[in-house]
Amino acid sequence: MHYNSCMGSSFENLKKAIIDNSISKKWEDAVLEWTIIDTEEDEFNESKCICGKENIKYLHRIQNIHNKNELFPIGSTCIKKFDRADLNELINIREKLFKLYHAVDNREFLELSPDLFNRKLIKYLYDEGAFDSDNKMYPAYENYIFFLKMFNKRNEKTVGEDKKVKAILLNNIRPFIQKRLRNKIIQK
């Protein structure tokens, strides 16, 4: 295992916090008891992780699935020390969500590109209800499948496909992202 910015006493601080708040008293087992329940972004990197590392950007709230204990803030680097693919995937999705939020907030031209999206993010957006619509002609699942198909498409989209992608971005994804992350940005 590679420990870069969470070495020495920082890693020991992390281990102590996790073990003290877990059922298991062994690190390898204790890390299996935790899940990420929320994430905030500190735009100015002025926050401090539970391990003691300063200047963290993404502040994760984790919860023990057995005793419901919570720890906050914990940085992405420390969560990666848990050596769990599921948590690493969640970190990547949540960080990508914030990147998408900033593109929306800065009124950037939104497009279905790998810069802003990946398959796991698209699936997460579907699971969280971002493709839901009042329009009965375009059910959420059909919008999700279409969006995923367009993301995977290698050649040019037709004019109709491009219009539908833009409609989903503007009418579904953008409002969902704004509503979901608006209060998750720490600005001092």
Q: Do residues 61 and 38 lie in contact, with contact meaning Cβ atoms separated by under 8 Å?
A: yes
Q: Report d(CA 48, CA 56) in Å as an integer.
A: 6
Structure tokens at 73: 């803030």
Encode pLDDT of 68-83 as tens digits.
999 999 999 999 999 9
Q: pLDDT confidence of 9, banded at 50, 70, 90?
A: confident
Higher-confidence position of 107 and 85? 85
Structure tokens at 111: 């497009």
Pairing of strands 70-74, 58-64: antiparallel
- pLDDT surpasses 90 at 166: yes
DSSP three-state, residue 52: coil
Q: Report d(CA 56, CA 74) in Å as an integer.
A: 9
Q: Do residues 110 and 103 lie in contact, with contact meaning Cβ atoms separated by under 8 Å?
A: yes
pLDDT at 135: 65
Q: Do residues 151 and 117 lie in contact, with contact meaning Cβ atoms separated by under 8 Å?
A: yes
pLDDT at 149: 97
Q: What share of the chain is helix, strand, coil (3-state, %, to 5)?
A: 50, 15, 35
State pTM to two decimals.
0.85
Q: Report d(CA 182, CA 15) in Å as an integer.
A: 32
